[in-house]
Each structure stands twice: as C-alpha cells, then as structure tokens.
A and B are shown apart, each in its own frame.
Chain A
C-alpha cells in the first residue's frame, strides 16, 4: 500500500488565495522530503528539499516566499502556494526517502492545482 500520502489530490482555488498541500510518510520517519512540480507534457522539476526542523532548500528559480515549505515533524511536510495565480496551476508531487543513501524514494499521488 501507499507509504506516502499526499492531500488533497485535487484543489481548485481563486486567484489571490493560498493553498496548502500536505505530504505524510505513513509508516516511516523521513528527515527529508522533496517537492516536485510537473508542467503539462513536461518532466518533474524539483522545487525544494524539505528538511525536518530546518529551512527548506530551494532550487534556483523557485520563489521561496511564494512556495512556503514547512517540515514540522518527521512524518509531515507541507507546501503552501501563497497568493496563487493561474500560472501556478500545475501538478505538485512530494516524495520521501525511507532510510538513507540509495534507499528508494516513495512518491505521493500528487496534487492537481487549478487556479481560476
């Protein structure tokens, strides 16, 4: 069964509002989680690395004030899209690594965000 739960799976919001996406590791502790964004017909792009108890590490070009990441516990990371705009509409996926090193990544089922 799923080992990483992502919620919600779909969300529609109005332009200017904020949306929070949760990513939970269900039966393991994940000190590090990753947030990806998938544009239509394009590959996954890493947005940021979420570290439990410290600030997230953002990839170049990702606005940290717009995409707020909080990793408050070893099983939960949240991504908040603040003041969303239509161009933020996308598919967001989180992942977590069980263990260290070459342990496989487990992915959530993703969140389809539509900003109207």
Chain B
C-alpha cells in the first residue's frame, strides 16, 4: 500500500536558518503530494501541493519539488522565523486509493529567536 516517511523531529533551528524536512513516499499509482502544517491549537492548513513530476509547490517562502526519480518531496525554506514553529505533515493522494490522503508521521519544527 501507499506510505509516506518523513524525518523524525523535533527539528530545532535558530531564526533565519535554512530548513529542510525530508519526505519520501511509496505509492502504487502516480500520486499528488502535499505538505500540511499544523500550528499549535489549530487544524491543518495546506501550504504546498504538487501534482506531477518536477512540479514545485511554494507558499510563504516554503518550497518543495516533486522528484519522481527519488520518490521524494522535501520541504525547504531559506530563512525560518519563530512563527514557522509548527508540526509539518507530508502527505500523498493516490487516485488508485480513491484520492484518500496518506500522511507521514509529522515533524515538529521549533524555531528559536
């Protein structure tokens, strides 16, 4: 079945540091890939998506590129802020699985001033 693996946290960075959160996947079909963010006390928000190979999703300085050859969708940001502290979930949606979302385990990011 489909699965998503992302790096375990917590990831602790200083403000303005470069961020990478790794995400790899396995899927039976050709999935769409997503990064969701969960701020403390809030629901999930969708910052990024990519629907085909080499697509780059971007939002508020975050970027992720759909790499089919390495089955990866790593999340990056050039300069993190304290307000970026949250839990980040990588997910895929596979047509073969009825477009249901399969989530990774989540990575907690803590940014210190």
B51 interface residue per 8 A CB criterion? yes
| A105 interface neighbour in B51, B89, B101, B105, Cβ under 8 Å | B101
Which residues of B have CB within 8 Å of A68? none
Q: Are B43 and A43 in contact (CB under 8 A)?
A: no
**B22 at the binding interface (Cβ < 8 Å):** no
Known A-B contacts A107-B43, A107-B44; A102 and B89 likewise in contact (beta carbons under 8 Å): no
Chain B's closest residue to A105 (CB) is B101
Judge whether B103 is part of the interface by a CB distance below 8 angstroms.
Answer: yes
> Quick one: which of B31-45 are within 8 Å of A by CB?
32, 36, 42-45
Judged by a CB distance under 8 angstroms, whether B93 is at the interface is yes
> How many angstroms from the CA of A74 to the CA of B8 in the assembled complex?
38
Instruction: Report the interface size for chain A: residues with CB under 8 A from the other chain.
Output: 19
A6, B32: Cα distance in complex, Å:
26
A93 to B45, CA, bound (A): 12
Q: How distant is A83 from chain B, measured CB to nearest CB, in Å? A: 27
| From A6, A42, A97, A102, residue with most partner B Cβ within 10 Å | A102
- Chain B contacts with A in 84-113, Cβ cutoff 8 A: 89, 93, 99-101, 103-106
The answer to the question of B77 belonging to the interface, with a C-beta cut-off of 8 Å to chain A, is: no
User: Is A44 in contact with B49, judged by CB distance below 8 angstroms?
Assistant: no
Question: In the complex the two chains form, is B103's CB within 8 Å of A109's CB?
Answer: no
Cβ of A46 within 8 Å of any chain B Cβ, yes or no, is: yes
Q: Quick check: A44 and B103 within 8 Å, CB to CB?
A: yes
Min CB–CB distance A26 → chain B (angstroms): 13
Q: Beyond A34-B101, A43-B105, A110-B42: 10 further Cβ-contacts under 8 Å? A: A6-B43, A42-B106, A46-B101, A93-B43, A102-B32, A102-B93, A102-B99, A104-B46, A107-B45, A109-B42
